[in-house]
Each structure stands twice: as C-alpha cells, then as structure tokens.
C-alpha cells in the first residue's frame, strides 16, 4: 500500500510513524513533510502543497489512501476533489469542514442539534457588537468566525479589552476577512479535554482522551500557542464525564452529521470543557490535533492503517478499537520568542538514546545532513509509563538529551493539581 500524508508538523511525523507500522504499507509520501518525516524508513518527502499538485501526484503514484493533517486543505475542499477523481482520502467534505472553518456555522449546528455548548450571539456589524458589549457580564469570549491559525479567540475580562478586540477583528481586519464576522460567547470555567475521534458517517469512535497545554508559560500563563504539550489519557475524563460527553455531545453530533447529509469520513476532534454545570462542547476540529496526536497515537494498540481503511470503506461499526494501558506525555520544544518572532536555521543535536519517541515539527534536514530549526514549535518528545508521573519523567529526561540554541519548553506539562 502507498500512503500520502499532507502536512509538515509533529502531528504529521506521528501519522507517518504510525501508518508505517503496518507491514502492508510499503511507501509513505509526506507533502511537504519535515526533517523528521524525511528520516522515517518508509517515507519520502515531496515538496508540493497545492491541491491540484497533490491530486496529480496521488493519481500518478497510485496512492491507496491520503490523510490530511491540517484544516486549511479540508476547508478548501481537498476531499471532494480527491473523491471526484476516484481516490480514497480520510477527511470531511468541504461542507462538513465548515464545522471547523466557521464558528457561526458550527454554533448553529450545535444549537440545532441540542448539543451542549456555551450561549452565544453572532455579529456582522461592529456597532451592534459594541452595543451588546455594554450589556455583557464579564469575562466574555470573542471569536473570529473564520480560520485564524489558532489566534482567533480572545477571553476579555472587561469592556475595554472587548472593545479593542472587536476593533482589531472587525475594523482593522487583522485576520484578513476571517474576523469580519464574530461571535460573542459565554465564558465557561473548568478543565479542558481533547477527544479525537474517527467517523465513517455511520458511527463515531472516540480515541483515548487527551489534554493540551495551550499557553506558552508554566501555570497556563501568557499567550496562546498551537499547544506546548499534551498528555493522554486526560485524568479528568472519568466515566461520568465520558458518559455525559457521549449523551450530550457525541450522539447528537452524529445525528446532525447524518441529518445534514454532510459526507463526513474522517477525524472529528471535540474540544470540551468540563465544568461544575456539566460537560460543554467548545469547538469541533475536523482533523487530528497537534500536539494531541503525538500523545494519543502511540497509545493505539489496534492497527492504525486498518482503522483508517475501515473508516474510508464505511466499516467502522465492526472495528474493535483497542488501546495500550498506561499514559503518555508529549513535551513540545519551541524556538526562543515563539509564539512571537524567532530565529531559524539553528542546529538541533541529540546526545544519548531516547526512551520515548521524538517527533520533529519545525525542523528541516540541511544540505550538510544536520537537522535545523525552521519553525516555532520545533519538536515533540513523547514519554510513556504505567503512571502519568513515569510518562512525564521519561519525557523530561529525554528532553535533556536534545539541544538547540534558545530551546524553550514548559516544565509543568502533565502536572495535575
Ligand atoms: P476554540 O478555538 O473555540 O476551541 O477556542 C480556543 C480556546 O479558547 C479553547 O481551547 C479554550 O481554552 C478557550 N475558550 C474557547 N471558548 C471558551 C469559552 N466559552 N469559555 C472559556 N474558554 C474558552
Ligand atoms: N492542539 C489543538 C489543536 O490542534 O487545534
């Protein structure tokens, strides 16, 4: 089997590694890939990113199935294009990808199918939004309607901050169209969890739960990032929480996907908030999370490639999805300055054998064979153990064996209060 994986992050490195475990997979192409995917035995990086080029490549190379990492391609309709050309691909249709691509679309969907979520209002007019702010109780949450590379959500503690945010989004148009429409949402207090799942449109099979750490600094302080580390399973996702998630979120979501005839064969990632008032859905993502994938996939006991093929063939109902016992902890090492500006081109060195798994992200293989930084989130290390403490200790011990100038990581990933 030949597989194409689209993307270039730590998530895609984890996908390449997991797909490669199946002996029937003879070749994996990663487009455009990174320094880590390029080092995997079965994998070759191909430097293409446009949908038409990817489609031509998949046809020419007789790719058996494609997995799409990032939402950008999904929202542009890559799945519809591949399917029209008779190619197998894991991902939602363009219409279903709107569950991530538009906050107002996804909130309307949640409302229509009675999925438990924060109360909200939609605005496409600045004056109306500002008027509404005057009546709000703070904090409130302001969200750009469109994709904003993870930067489109601001928690506002007071009127002044909210007003500035609306000005940035709607008037200054900092997200180039994506913030012209906004939603203003009730603030929920609680603990977050990420539940990656896979669907063939008939059933949704949830993966083991996980927990991202979004802020840059220890203690959850500072600006949001793409994610500075993840653990799995999420210790807060007990049976009661998962039962509620099933009943109030997963089941009505499946009903909505079916009723709306969305053509959804892919990953559906539920971002939930566990509060004193119950479990709420914050958002859908229509693809694998990063770094969650680096923590979750290595725990999968079942064959990942068989799972993907079952989903694409509409046969998930009979798939017995199994997980290894124990915990994982993924730490992200970032460039100095991230999520702001940072330098690139710095050499990454490893000293000593790692006990966990190393997934490269913003890192490339230089002409001289060295691995060098070229992004904000540079790499992830996932440690494993029978307890969360052992998984953490393994990951932190491994992190000491990796060096690059200015390397930054949080020191509290997986610390549970
Ligand atoms: P979203 O893209 O909607 O998941 O939002 C990104 C992040 O903003 C979430 O992971 C939460 O940390 C935070 N967030 C979003 N919505 C809310 C809310 N209603 N209350 C509190 N925090 C929120
Ligand atoms: N880690 C959150 C995301 O992938 O969106």
Ligand 1 mean position to 187 CA, how many Å? 8
Cα(188) to centroid(ligand 1), Å: 8
What percentage of the chain carries pLDDT values higher than 90?
A: 96
Residue 373 has a pLDDT of 98
Distance 27 CA to ligand 1 centre (A): 38
Joined together, the tokens standing for residue 46 give 């191909």
Alpha-carbon torsion, ordered 163, 106, 15, 374, to 10 deg:
-20
| Residue 155 Cα to ligand 1 middle (Å) | 8
CA distance 198 to 266: 6
Ligand nearest to the CA of 148: 1
pLDDT single digits (tens) 164-207? 999 999 999 999 999 999 999 999 999 999 999 999 999 999 99
Confidence (pLDDT) at 322 = 98
Mean residue pLDDT across the chain: 96
In this model, does residue 366 exceed pLDDT 90? no
Query: pLDDT tens digit string along 276-323?
Result: 999 999 999 999 999 999 999 999 999 999 999 999 999 999 999 999
φ, ψ of residue 291 to 5 degrees: the values are: -90, 0
Task: Look at residue 202 and give its three-state secondary structure.
Answer: coil
Measure the CA–CA gap between 379 and 367, rounded to whole angstroms.
Answer: 20
pLDDT digits (tens, 9 = 90+) for 246-262: 999 999 999 999 999 99
Average pLDDT for 5-22: 98
Q: Largest Cα–Cα distance in the chain?
A: 61
CA-to-CA distance for 124 and 130, rounded, in angstroms? 11
Domains defined for the chain, CATH in brackets: 2-90 (3.40.50.20), 119-186 (3.30.1490.20), 191-318 (3.30.470.20), 327-403 (3.90.600.10)
Is the minimum distance from the CB of 299 to ligand 1 under 6 angstroms? no
Spacing, Cα 63 to ligand 2 middle (Å)? 27
Residue nearest atom 13 of ligand 1, based on CA coordinates: 153
> With contact defined as beta carbons under 8 Å apart, do 220 and 229 qualify?
no
Strand 27-32 to strand 43-45: parallel, antiparallel, or no bridges (unpaired)?
parallel
Question: Are 294 and 11 a contacting pair, CB within 8 Å?
Answer: yes
Rounded-to-integer distance, Cα 167 and Cα 79, Å: 35
Has residue 34 got a pLDDT over 80? yes
* 285 within ligand 2 shell (Cβ under 6 A): yes
Residue 290 near ligand 2, beta carbon < 6 Å = yes
Q: What is the pLDDT of residue 403?
A: 97
Ligand 1 geometric centre to CA of 127 (Å) = 24
pLDDT for 149 beyond 90:
no
Residues 6+ apart with CB under 8 A from 151: 175, 224
pTM value > 0.75: yes
Average pLDDT over residues 158-169: 95
Task: Give the 3-state secondary structure of residue 7.
Answer: strand
Adjacent-strand bridge partners of 140: 156, 186
For the cut 80, the answer to whether the pLDDT of residue 150 exceeds it is no
Is a pLDDT exceeding 80 seen at residue 417?
no
Ligand 1 probe mutation, 162, 273, 282, most atoms within 8 A of CB: 282
pLDDT at 90: 98
Locate 320 and state its tokens: 């017995």
Q: State the ligand closest to the CA atom of 223.
A: 1
Nearest CA to 377 out of 86, 11, 65, 21 is that of 11
SS3 276: coil
Distance CA 285, CA 213 (A): 16
Once rounded to an integer, what is the mean pLDDT over residues 231-251? 98
In angstroms and rounded to an integer, the radius of gyration of the C-alpha atoms of the chain is 21
Neighbours of 366 (CB within 10 A): 13
Confidence (pLDDT) at 134 = 93
SS3 per residue for 243-254 = HHHHHHHHHHHH
Q: Which residues sit opposite 44 in a β-bridge?
A: 29
C-alpha 269 – ligand 1 centre gap (Å): 14
Q: Is the CB of 212 under 6 A from ligand 2?
A: yes
CA of 397 from ligand 2 middle (Å) equals 25
Nearest-ligand number for the alpha carbon of 230:
2
Best probe residue, ligand 1, of 141, 193, 289 (max atoms within 8 Å of C-beta): 141
Is any atom of ligand 1 closer than 6 Å to the C-beta of 153? yes
Over residues 104-110, mean pLDDT: 97
Which atom of ligand 1 is nearest the CA belonging to 185? 19
Using CA positions, which residue lies closest to atom 4 of ligand 2? 289
Q: Is the pLDDT of residue 330 over 80?
A: yes
Query: Rounded to 10 degrees, what is the CA torsion of 147, 188, 132, 165?
Result: -50
Which alpha helices (DSSP H) does 8-125 contain, by range? 10-20, 51-60, 71-76, 78-84, 94-101, 103-112
Distance CA 337, CA 339 (A): 6
- Residue 367: pLDDT over 90: no
Omega into 228 within 30° of 0, i.e. cis?
no
Nearest CA to ligand 1 atom 6: 153
């Amino acid at each position: 089997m030949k597989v194409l994986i689209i993307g270039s992050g730590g998530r895609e490195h984890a996908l390449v590694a997991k797909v490669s475990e199946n002996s029937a997979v003879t070749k994996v192409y990663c487009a455009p890939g990174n320094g880590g995917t390029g080092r995997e035995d079965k994998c070759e990086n191909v430097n293409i990113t446009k949908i038409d080029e990817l489609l031509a490549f998949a046809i020419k190379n007789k790719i058996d199935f494609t997995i799409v990492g990032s939402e950008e391609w999904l929202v542009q309709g890559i799945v519809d294009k591949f399917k029209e050309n008779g190619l197998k691909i894991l991902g939602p249709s363009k219409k279903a990808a709107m569950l991530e691509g538009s906050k107002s679309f996804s909130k309307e969907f949640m409302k229509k199918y009675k999925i438990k979520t924060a109360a909200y209002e939609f605005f496409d007019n600045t004056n109306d939004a500002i008027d509404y702010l005057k009546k709000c109780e703070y904090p409130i949450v302001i969200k750009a309607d469109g994709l904003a590379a993870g930067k489109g959500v601001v928690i506002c503690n007071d009127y002044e901050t909210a007003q500035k945010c609306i000005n940035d989004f709607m008037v200054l148009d900092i997200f180039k169209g994506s913030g012209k429409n906004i939603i203003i949402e009730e603030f929920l207090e609680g603990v977050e969890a990420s539940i990656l799942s896979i669907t063939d449109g008939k059933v949704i099979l949830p993966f083991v739960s996980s927990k991202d750490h979004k802020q840059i600094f220890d203690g959850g302080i500072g600006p949001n990032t793409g994610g500075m580390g993840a653990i799995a399973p999420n210790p807060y996702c007990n049976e009661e929480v998962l039962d509620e998630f099933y009943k109030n979120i997963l089941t009505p979501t499946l009903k909505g996907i079916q009723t709306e005839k969305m053509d959804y064969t892919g990953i559906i990632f539920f971002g939930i908030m566990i509060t004193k008032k119950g479990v709420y859905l914050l958002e859908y993502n229509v693809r694998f999370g990063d770094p969650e994938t680096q923590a979750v996939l290595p725990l999968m006991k079942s064959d990942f490639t068989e799972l993907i093929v079952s989903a694409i063939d509409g046969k998930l109902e009979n798939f017995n999805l199994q997980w290894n016992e124990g915990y994982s902890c993924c730490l992200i090492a970032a460039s100095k300055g991230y999520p702001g500006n940072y330098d690139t081109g710095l050499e990454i060195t490893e000293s000593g054998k790692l006990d966990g798994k190393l997934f490269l992200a913003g890192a490339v293989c230089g002409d001289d064979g060295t691995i060098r930084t070229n992004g904000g989130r540079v790499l992830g290390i996932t440690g494993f153990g029978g307890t969360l403490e052992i998984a953490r200790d393994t990951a932190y011990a491994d992190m000491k064996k990796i060096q690059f100038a200015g390397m930054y990581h949080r020191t509290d990933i997986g610390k549970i209060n």
